[in-house]
Amino acid sequence: MDASHCIPVFEFNHLGLTTQTGRFDKVSGTFSMDRDARVGHVLFNIETASLNMGFGTETSNSPGYRLLEVTRFPTMTFKSDKLVFDDKKNVVAAAGQLTLLGISKPITVSVSRFKCSVHPMFQKMMCAGNISATVKRSEFGMMSYIPAISDEIKVSIPIEAYKD
């Protein structure tokens, strides 16, 4: 995956009044598929210490760093061996395991605007799409600040991956 074009963003409700957002700046991953056989896999890693929510969140004392326990759990991971394809052999979902704070739970992410084509600048085959999911942080033991910070977190990740 092209890490510079795969930045996860998330949003949550704050105090029942506003929608706040953040992102993770360091990610890595691999994606492979066989469209004809309708199979594939995904491995996506996020460095939790790369949390970025604007001014004041870049320190280890910020609430986000404490929620993610970045020292004990430096990564969160999504792994999937089950891609879901539509009738045009495009990926529309991926079922797998999200590991956060050392807890793994099944999750299915939606994939929209999936397409494969030759990148116009690099002249390499690339597949891309937008991933989205809603995660209940309490299911991973992240209980602090509920309900001031909503339990449900919406996650969006644009993905661009090149063929080796």
Domains along the chain with CATH numbers: 3-162 (2.40.128.110)
Is residue 54 scored above 80 in pLDDT?
no
pLDDT at position 4: 85
Using CB atoms within 10 Å of the CB of residue 88, give its burial: 0 to 12 exposed, 13 to 18 middle, 19+ buried: exposed
pLDDT at position 60: 64
pLDDT at position 59: 62
Q: What is the pLDDT of residues 17-44, one digit of tens each?
A: 999 888 999 999 999 999 999 999 999 9
Is residue 78 scored above 70 in pLDDT?
yes
Question: What CA–CA distances, in Å, run from 115 to 21, 57, 90, 92, 158?
Answer: 27, 35, 7, 10, 12
Report the pLDDT averaged over residues 135-158: 92
Q: Compute the distance between CA of residue 46 and CA of residue 65 in angstroms, rounded to an integer.
A: 14
